[in-house]
Amino acid sequence: MESPPTPALTPVRLALGLIYLHFGLLKLFPDLSSAEMLADQTVLRLHLGLAPETVRQLLALLECGIGVGFLLHVVPRVTLVVFAAHMLCTLLPLVLLPELVFSSFPFGPSLEGQYLLKNLVFLGAGWALWTGEPR
């Protein structure tokens, strides 16, 4: 019999879900997300061949899906894998766009850089959820 998830991690899961759903919804509307320019520049740097608007919409849907997955606790392992992949992609500007991420490299992050660095906390929360989730 599978054991239930660790109850102490429920607030972490719900907080991540709310944040992801909120940030995803913001990306559905142009100029509402503070990460819009950084995401657009990252996509252009990667030469994915997709218009930034298209990528922004796909990213919005992905983030909303991750948020709903966390909130409803459906397919938690899949949600966590997609979350981890997304988180790793959000760190790409640290390497690809250091001029936008740091006002004074390497110890003076810009506002965009601070926005990215907080994702390290999200990764830690995701790891806690992964290790607390029954297999």
Tens of pLDDT, residues 56-111: 899 999 999 999 999 999 999 999 999 999 999 889 998 888 998 999 877 899 98
Rounded to an integer, what distance in angstroms lies between the CA atom of residue 71 and that of residue 19?
10
DSSP secondary structure code for residue 135 in this structure: -
Look at 3 and 94; give whichever has higher pLDDT: 94
| pLDDT at position 32 | 81
Domain that holds residue 98: 7-132
Q: What type of residue is 74?
A: V
**9: helix, coil or strand?**
helix
In a domain, 1, yes or no: no
In a domain, 43, yes or no: yes
**103: helix, coil or strand?**
strand
| pLDDT at position 109 | 92
* CA angle in degrees (0–180, nearest 5) for 64-69-72: 115
* CA angle in degrees (0–180, nearest 5) for 77-112-54: 60
User: Mean pLDDT of all residues in the chain?
Assistant: 88
Q: Is the pLDDT of residue 122 over 70?
A: yes
Look at 135 and 29; give whichever has higher pLDDT: 29
How many domains does the structure of the chain reveal? Answer: 1
- For residue range 6-38, what is the model confidence (pLDDT) as tens digits? 788 999 999 999 999 999 999 898 888 777 788
In a domain, 2, yes or no: no
Q: Is the pLDDT of residue 2 over 70?
A: no
| pLDDT at position 3 | 62
| pLDDT at position 1 | 47
In a domain, 51, yes or no: yes
Write down the pTM of the prediction.
0.88
